[in-house]
Amino acid sequence: MPDAFDPSPSDRFTFGLWTVGNRGADPFGLPVRPAMTPLQLVQGLGRIGAWGVNLHDNDLVPFGATAPERDRIVTEFARAVADAGMCVPMATTNLFSHPVFRDGAFTSSDPRVRAFAVQKAMQGIELGVELGARTIVFWGGREGAETDACRDPRDAIAWYRECLNVLCHWTRSQGWDLRFALEAKPNEPRGDIYLPTTGHMLHFIQTLDHPQMCGVNPEVAHETMAGLNFLHAVAQAMECGKLFHVDLNAQRIGKFDQDLRFGSEDLKGAFFLVRMLEGCSGRPAYEGPRHFDAHAYRTEDPDGVWDFARGCMRTYKVLAAKARAFDADPEVRAIIAGNAFADEPLGCAAMLSATQGAGASRIRALALDPDSIAARGHRYERLDQLAMEHLMGVRG
Ligand code: GLT
Ligand code: MN
Ligand code: MN
């Protein structure tokens, strides 16, 4: 029965070929689902209301395909995407599956491997451009180590930078207006992965030759694996204009990378995330695609895969509606207003705006009474309970 939460292309939901195409293999077990071709996956995604489909080079073109094979596959795929009324907003390069990357791609100690990785990334970018992608994701799954006897991590970081610089220079020289989105992960498949969190990536980007074309692609599961607050990572990226893409899924702290259906764990975290991405909190919304990097439980057959994909999108839309209701709730608004003080005349920015030295001296000279300020409670217990009651469906 269709309802207000049924997805449509205007919601701009995207999935990777590798997500709905996941066959349920894990390190202990074989695939449990039949393979679906990229064309079948695109048709299926179109049927359930997705807007776009993303891919790695080798999700579509097998490693080592000849140039004519590659061209035929890409042409057929582009036609299937168009026939399904969909698009390819993001493309990425598999720099982790082939044994040549067993000790890293851009951070391998072997310059031949780094050169091969750059070459493969160039072909991945060409493929993305051909399919109309505007965002290129880089997930350095193999960029790490099990033993730090292997290399000095400072070398690894410098090689990572060199490779990305080459790719930025080359992309610009081709006249392509692309954005690179770097995705962090703390570990798995390596014991430790270099640049393990979104915060690390944000700093690293500032050290590149073309920082303006690089941003981040934070993933719920990856930040959660590190025990961090995903919302805060996304907020830091948004605040500095670097949220170029986002990988939505669900994860429990302390576990392997679960890539669960969006919102199926930490529903409250997902609620505040959607609220921020949708701009319900009075700030501008995130403008990029809402991408799901997740897969169905291994228990599922192909029908279960589509249940999974629909579930990601529906949960996002339900949470967006809940977030709007939360922000419109008069009691919520009153508590938030009660904690929001005008910046003038005490805020540091206001003070510093005139003459900086004099402004700082004014702060130094202020008479402030910490005991009277501290006497006031913030009512966050009530505010959080209101969020919970919206989420549990008994309010709003
Ligand atoms: C892989 C990884 C994801 C990345 C994908 C892009 S591939 O599935 O687990 O987090 O986003 O390379
Ligand atoms: Mn991801
Ligand atoms: Mn993941």
Percent above pLDDT 90 for the chain? 91
pLDDT band at 353 (very low <50, low <70, confident <90, very high): low
At 363, the pLDDT band (50, 70, 90 cuts) reads: confident
For residue 351, pLDDT over 80 is answered with no
Residue 35 alpha carbon to ligand 1 centre in Å:
19
Instruction: Using the predicted structure, report yes or no on whether residue 261 has a pLDDT greater than 70.
Output: yes
d(CA 54, CA 42): 10
Q: Is 137 in the pocket of ligand 1 (CB under 6 A)?
A: yes
Report the nearest-CA residue for atom 12 of ligand 1. Answer: 139
Quote the pLDDT of residue 344: 61
Whether 274 has a pLDDT exceeding 70, the answer reads yes
Would you state the pLDDT for residue 348? 66
pTM summary value = 0.96
Q: Where are the beta strands (DSSP E) in the chain?
A: 13-16, 52-56, 90-92, 135-139, 144-145, 179-183, 192-193, 214-216, 247-248, 290-292
* Structure tokens, 255: 């576990």
Catalytic residue from among 3, 6, 57, 59 = 59
Q: Is the pLDDT confidence value at 355 over 90?
A: no
**Residue 219 Cα, ligand 3 centroid: separation in angstroms?**
7
How many other C-beta atoms lie within 10 A of the C-beta of residue 67? 7
Q: 183 in ligand 1 pocket by Cβ < 6 Å?
A: yes
- Pick from 18, 120, 248 the residue to mutate for probing ligand 1's pocket: most ligand atoms within 8 Å of its CB: 18
How many angstroms is it from 363 CA to the middle of ligand 2?
A: 45
| More reliable by pLDDT, 300 or 354 | 300
Residue 118 to residue 97: CA distance in whole angstroms: 15
Backbone torsions φ then ψ of 284, nearest 5 degrees:
-60, 145
Q: What is the pLDDT of residues 199-238, one digit of tens each?
A: 999 999 999 999 999 999 999 999 999 999 999 999 999 9
Q: What mean pLDDT is predicted for residues 336-365?
A: 74
Q: What is the CATH number that goes with domain 9-323?
A: 3.20.20.150
Helix (H, G, I), strand (E, B) or coil at 370: helix
Can you give the pLDDT at residue 136? 99
User: Average per-residue pLDDT in the chain?
Assistant: 96
For residue 356, pLDDT beyond 80: no
Domains of the chain: which residue ranges? 9-323, 330-391
Active site residue 56: yes
- Judged against a pLDDT cut of 90, whether residue 347 lies above it is answered with no
Residues 6+ apart with CB under 8 A from 43: 80, 84
Residue 354 has pLDDT above 60, yes or no: no
The mean per-residue pLDDT over the stretch 333-344 comes to: 87
Q: Compute the average pLDDT of residues 9-26.
A: 98
Cα dihedral across residues 59, 62, 68, 73: positive or negative: negative
Alpha carbon distance 103, 105 (integer Å): 7
